[in-house]
Amino acid sequence: MPPANGVLSGKAAVVTGAGKGIGKAIAVGYGAAGATVCCVARTESDI
């Protein structure tokens, strides 16, 4: 994934389903773009 140059710096996101699949990819992408990310999943081990 190319760097996003902090385009989401100073922003916060809550990502549900962040343990797997698309939710995980979104959480990682938002974090790479500079956002503070709160991740939610069905089990603690998924996070």
Would you say residue 7 lies in a domain? no
Distances (CA, A) of 39 to 17, 22, 32: 8, 13, 14
39 within 8 A of 18, measured Cβ to Cβ: yes
Residue 2 has pLDDT above 80, yes or no: no
Residue 1: predicted pLDDT: 60
pLDDT digits (tens, 9 = 90+) for 4-27: 678 999 999 999 999 999 999 999
8 within 8 A of 34, measured Cβ to Cβ: yes
Residue 15: predicted pLDDT: 98
Would you say residue 18 lies in a domain? yes
User: Which pTM value belongs to this model?
Assistant: 0.83
29 DSSP β-pair partners:
none
Range of the domain at 38: 12-46
Position with higher pLDDT, 32 vs 3: 32
How far is 30 from 35, CA to CA, in rounded Å?
A: 5
Q: What is the mean pLDDT of residues 26-42?
A: 96
Domain count, the chain: 1
3 within 8 A of 31, measured Cβ to Cβ: no
